[in-house]
């Protein structure tokens, strides 16, 4: 059948959960054996979010082909089996850059280049490219930002044109219906105004998702239906879930949103198979024990900065019938090791820059000496290496050249200095690379294979000039970049669980299939708790 296009827009305010809503609905359609595609359109002028501050943008999600993308692609990956690539995220910066390049080349034959039709045509082209990278039945196109924002107007105009030109498309509009405690009632005016702005642009939504704290009454739904020109049965609640975001697809399914979408497109509704998803949600609701994991990082005040890390920990804990207490520890304030007492595992995530570096090294030392399960990711692995060099190899001033370009012992150094790999994508190694695992190591047993593919995002690597020295003192280099010499995974031999990886395994963890490294780490944390 021809590809069907589902546009997701948002109104009233940001952070309502458009990405989560899109991923959840896609999950339901995929559960009917439809093939799904996903595209995120971001109105900002950056070419991509790779250079953006985590406090402003959140984490950078990396695809196999090395695209630095919006964190909503992480939702898409975790909730569905959709194929994601550089064509799954487009920004205003990319769109305008492409149009200006064409203008400079003379592709427009001297015409005046304008937002309409040239920018909107390029947006429509990106929508079609995303839908054709893999043959799909449905593609979800999420527009970032909020209706009414100046920067999102070209995207909304492109959607208006696309819907006019293509009958196989609908709009789902996510709004906010606040409950005013002083009046003890819901207020629909924000939803009315948001929908009116959208209609003024020329887009009439077929479904309205109402973000709300609790269930809406029939009267409220009738009012939204009347003023927003949407049938009452197509006013859907997106109310707060009790325990986890992974309940959202089930809540939408109860309200029949997947049936309604099939009805709009005149497609026969198929039986939805949510058995595994329901089983997973039951595990979330019935934990047998609780463990405490410390995350020692520098962007902890903004939860989205480590979004995939948190979700990977939760997947694994829930999978093992565990509840998890994540203790956030700012690495630049880790002067008192009392903050690490009573935790059952320590994780140091990736990051850039000197701030908090010494605190991370201190956490590594504590985990090594106290035999606390430790998991270092990207910069976390590098901290493990530096700590080991300083305190076991007695290279007291060992460091990364990122933190100290003149360090006497550069055990971590810039990849370009080593000239070991090409096509880095600027100064970073980005995307999926094959890693060969050393046989009979702990890591090989965890993965149960000899080769793995994992995604990278970093500039610095272990300096192989020090490899022999580390190996003499119980460091095992259990993963090496295939057909190269670069270190990908290190583990400490005489420790129940202390390893670091240069890549980002959190990007490949899913609710129904937790990443094996996170699974091992969580199980060792539970053992640590039981030992007291």
- Active-site residues: which are they? 378, 504, 506
Q: Is the peptide bond before 117 cis (omega within 30 degrees of 0)?
A: yes
CA distances from 37 to 380, 393, 404 (A): 33, 50, 44
Beta strands in 392-428 (DSSP E): 398-400, 409-414
Residues 28, 272 contacting (CB under 8 angstroms): yes
Rounded to 5 degrees, what are φ and ψ at 346? -125, 130
Distance of CA 371 to the CA centre of its chain: 31
Strand order in the sheet with 4-10: 89-91, 36-42, 138-143, 4-10, 169-176, 207-212, 235-239
End-to-end CA distance of the chain: 59
Rounded to 5 degrees, what are φ and ψ at 525? -65, -40
CA–CA gap between residue 432 and residue 225 (Å, rounded) = 47
CA–CA gap between residue 521 and residue 527 (Å, rounded) = 10
Which residue, 227, 70, 35, 67, is CA-closest to 143? Answer: 70
């Amino acid at each position: 059948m021809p590809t069907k296009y589902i546009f997701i827009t948002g109104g009233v305010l940001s952070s309502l959960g458009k990405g989560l809503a899109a991923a959840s609905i896609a999950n339901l359609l995929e559960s009917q054996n439809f093939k799904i595609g996903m595209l995120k359109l971001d109105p900002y002028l950056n070419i991509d979010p790779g250079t953006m501050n985590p406090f402003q943008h959140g984490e950078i999600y990396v695809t196999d082909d090395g695209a630095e993308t919006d964190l909503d692609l992480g939702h898409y990956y975790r909730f569905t089996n959709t194929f994601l690539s550089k064509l799954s995220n487009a920004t205003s910066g990319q769109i305008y850059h492409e149009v200006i390049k064409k203008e400079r080349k003379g592709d427009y034959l001297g015409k005046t280049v304008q937002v309409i039709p040239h920018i909107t045509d390029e947006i429509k082209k990106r929508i079609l490219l995303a839908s054709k990278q893999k043959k799909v039945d449905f593609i979800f196109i999420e527009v970032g930002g909020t209706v009414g924002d100046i920067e999102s107007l070209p995207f909304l105009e492109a959607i208006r044109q696309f819907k006019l030109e293509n009958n196989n498309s609908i709009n789902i509009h996510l709004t906010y219906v606040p409950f005013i405690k002083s009046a003890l009632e819901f207020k629909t005016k924000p939803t009315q105004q948001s929908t009116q702005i959208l209609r003024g642009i020329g887009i009439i939504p077929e479904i309205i998702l109402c973000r709300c704290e609790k269930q809406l009454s029939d009267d409220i739904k009738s009012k939204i239906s009347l003023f927003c020109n949407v049938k009452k049965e197509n006013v859907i609640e997106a109310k707060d879930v009790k325990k986890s975001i992974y309940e959202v697809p089930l809540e939408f399914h109860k309200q029949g949103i997947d049936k309604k979408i099939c009805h709009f497109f005149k497609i026969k509704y198929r039986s939805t198979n949510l058995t595994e998803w329901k089983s997973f949600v039951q595990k979330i609701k019935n934990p047998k024990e609780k463990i405490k994991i410390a995350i020692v990082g520098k962007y902890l005040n903004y939860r989205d900065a480590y979004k995939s890390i948190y979700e990977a920990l939760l997947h694994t804990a829930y999978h093992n019938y565990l509840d998890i207490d994540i203790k956030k520890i700012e690495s630049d304030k880790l002067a008192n090791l009392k903050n690490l007492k009573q935790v059952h595992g320590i994780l140091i995530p990736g990051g850039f820059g000197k701030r908090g570096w010494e605190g991370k090294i201190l956490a590594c030392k504590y985990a090594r000496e106290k035999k606390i399960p430790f998991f270092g990711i990207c910069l976390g692995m590098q901290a493990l290496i530096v700590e080991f060099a300083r305190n076991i190899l007695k290279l007291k001033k060992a460091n990364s050249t990122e933190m100290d370009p003149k360090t006497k012992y550069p055990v971590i150094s810039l990849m370009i200095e080593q000239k070991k790999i090409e096509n880095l994508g600027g100064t970073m190694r980005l995307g999926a690379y094959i890693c060969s695992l050393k046989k009979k190591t702990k890591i090989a047993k965890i993965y149960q294979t000899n080769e793995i593919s994992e995604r990278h995002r970093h500039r610095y690597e272990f300096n192989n000039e020090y490899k022999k020295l580390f190996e003499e003192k119980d460091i095992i280099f259990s993963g090496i970049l295939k057909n190269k010499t670069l270190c990908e995974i290190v583990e400490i031999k005489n420790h129940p669980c202390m390893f670091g990886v240069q890549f980002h395994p959190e990007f490949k963890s899913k609710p129904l299939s937790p990443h094996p490294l996170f699974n091992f780490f969580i199980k060792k944390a539970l053992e640590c708790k039981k030992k007291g």
